[in-house]
Chain A
């Protein structure tokens, strides 16, 4: 197993960092304060293939591997987690399931617009009474000839306010055991598709997270992803990949907090010397750096498994669990190092602190990650597999 990043990954990281710092850096604080979605950044990202990171080049994608994907999300999130979130969700839980489960006709019809970023993707599972419990979905898709009629309300949809294509989880056969859910791909312009109010959230504020209302929204059966009742399978597959993205995002936030903490500790003088010279602060910094490094290795290991077409679900859950906790803890320490300044909007760590928390919640809470990990553990021989 290669533990050092190869030259491609190194050059990629530098390029994305330069782009993020140059284009996103100047506005990262502002788009958070004003809860503004930066369309100008989307426009800049489109020709650079940020909306088709792993999509095949013949469809206009960049054709990169999964570690590269994680690096892109980490570096975007290091500067603006809300933008990192947009790109992560688009690539991992919208575009990826289409490419994985879509028919050639569906891919030819729907993928290019996603890959070019003309349409931003969204993933609509969560409802008032369904979240971690995918079986609780109440949105209905009623078959009418060649179409489905969709009705229901989705909440907390990342990219909700700006999405052009939404993967909608809906019950197609209420009679079936476990109320079989299916996935329908819904373009935003279909009558009956409406975006609700943008949520006022603590973090990720530049991402227009919203509800989506479906009222007799007519969608052709040709937009059904997979077969009727495949919803759970598609959802779980998408979320496995999505977790890599969220782990990468959490890692980017943690990395930013570590850097901010280091910088401040070296600059800030107390009792006549830089606070970095105090052992307590050094301990904080050492813990922060160790957590970030460990999280990165865990994440890349999961990505490498995926690239090698091995099972990676358990490792993805571990990476998501660990990196999101790391993000919360590292941002917390970074604020602590900053003292009062860290609680002020004038400093970046205040935003990082708010952005970090949700990584423990969305795309599977930490509790669900533990469930996934435990399930993986318990289904294997006690001695585990040789790694």
Chain B
């Protein structure tokens, strides 16, 4: 059987963020599938999947493969990999896309290894070149470099994609698509890793490393007292506060907040950066966040050039204005 031209998207639904990535991938996966006249197929594994199946159809899936079984309720690396790999071997999709969530990255890496194929990590762009190859853009060195990678001779072409890279399509709950409810195959090896406890963390308890929103302050915040305004902003955004080296040196905040080569490596969805010049020791730690808002008096600061939006303003003034504006908008 020859390989199909289908594009698969793994249905990663465990929490809001993960499900958002799935929907974002369906949007781009649809373009990729249509360009090569293939089908966009969502593959979803777990239990009580109906709502996700419906959602994926509504967001553009041409077909859904669903493996629903009570024993699959919790995410399990080994079992999910076996199921995905068996399906892929049987149906031979051209491309498998997985959201670059913690679990997605594990699953995709395992599956790629078993399938003996290439996997590009944490892509920030996907496109087809004139030979129909999937060109995957992946960051390195904390987003300071981007690499374009293809997987020319191996099958399937696999990529994990950073959340927030693509825009999801507007949902259409009238949309219809075939849904295959697949039985759990016999002879699955039992999972060797036992999940003993799993508790959902409130955003505030999350570590800086895994925070979706990070508010980072630099020397330009001006003083310890002003720096504390960032804490309030982070609270409103459900994020964490990070700092640059001069700030930690000046003891405006604790050392644990240091982000950069010598500190923590973060990978937020959104980075707010206040009064940060953008020394590479710092930017090496910010993981090329998909959306960066920088505030600096100096529009030429490196951090401003790295940002999507740069506010040319006093860092603290801007922080206070953002707090006021957010309070208004969150209330409404």
Could you list which residues of chain A lie within 8 angstroms of chain B, going by C-beta atoms? 21-22, 25-26, 28-30, 267, 269
Contacts and interface: CB of A to CB of B under 8 A. Distances in A.
B277 A25 contact: no
A22 B262 contact: yes
Given A267-B277, A269-B300, A26 B262 contact: no
Interface string B268-303: 000000000100000000000000000000001000
Nearest to A267: B277
Contacts of A25: 245, 249
B262 A21 contact: yes
Contacts of A267: 277
Nearest to B250: A29
A29 B249 contact: yes
Q: In terms of DSSP, what is the predominant structure of the interface of chain A?
A: helix
Contacts of B251: 26, 30
A26 B255 contact: yes
B83 interface: no
Instruction: State which size class the interface on B falls in.
Output: under 10
Given A22-B262, A25-B245, 11 more contacts: A21-B262, A25-B249, A26-B248, A26-B249, A26-B251, A26-B255, A28-B249, A29-B249, A30-B251, A267-B277, A269-B300
A26 B247 CA distance: 9
Contacts of A269: 300
13 contacts: A21-B262, A22-B262, A25-B245, A25-B249, A26-B248, A26-B249, A26-B251, A26-B255, A28-B249, A29-B249, A30-B251, A267-B277, A269-B300
A269 B262 CA distance: 27
A30 B249 CA distance: 9
Contacts of B262: 21-22
Contacts of A26: 248-249, 251, 255
A21 B255 CA distance: 13
Interface string B167-183: 00000000000000000
Contacts of B277: 267
A121 B300 CA distance: 50
Nearest to B255: A26
B11 to A, nearest CB: 44
B164 to A, nearest CB: 31
A28 B251 CA distance: 12
A282 to B, nearest CB: 21
Contacts of A30: 251
Nearest to A263: B279
B219 to A, nearest CB: 9
Contacts of B245: 25
Interface in B244-264: 245, 248-249, 251, 255, 262
Nearest to B249: A26
Scoring B245, B249, B255, B300 by chain A CB atoms within 10 A of each residue's CB, the highest score goes to B249
Contacts of A22: 262
B129 to A, nearest CB: 38
A333 to B, nearest CB: 22
A267 B300 CA distance: 10
A313 to B, nearest CB: 40
Nearest to A25: B249
Contacts of A21: 262
B303 to A, nearest CB: 12
Interface in B174-204: none
A29 B219 CA distance: 15
A364 to B, nearest CB: 34
Nearest to A269: B300
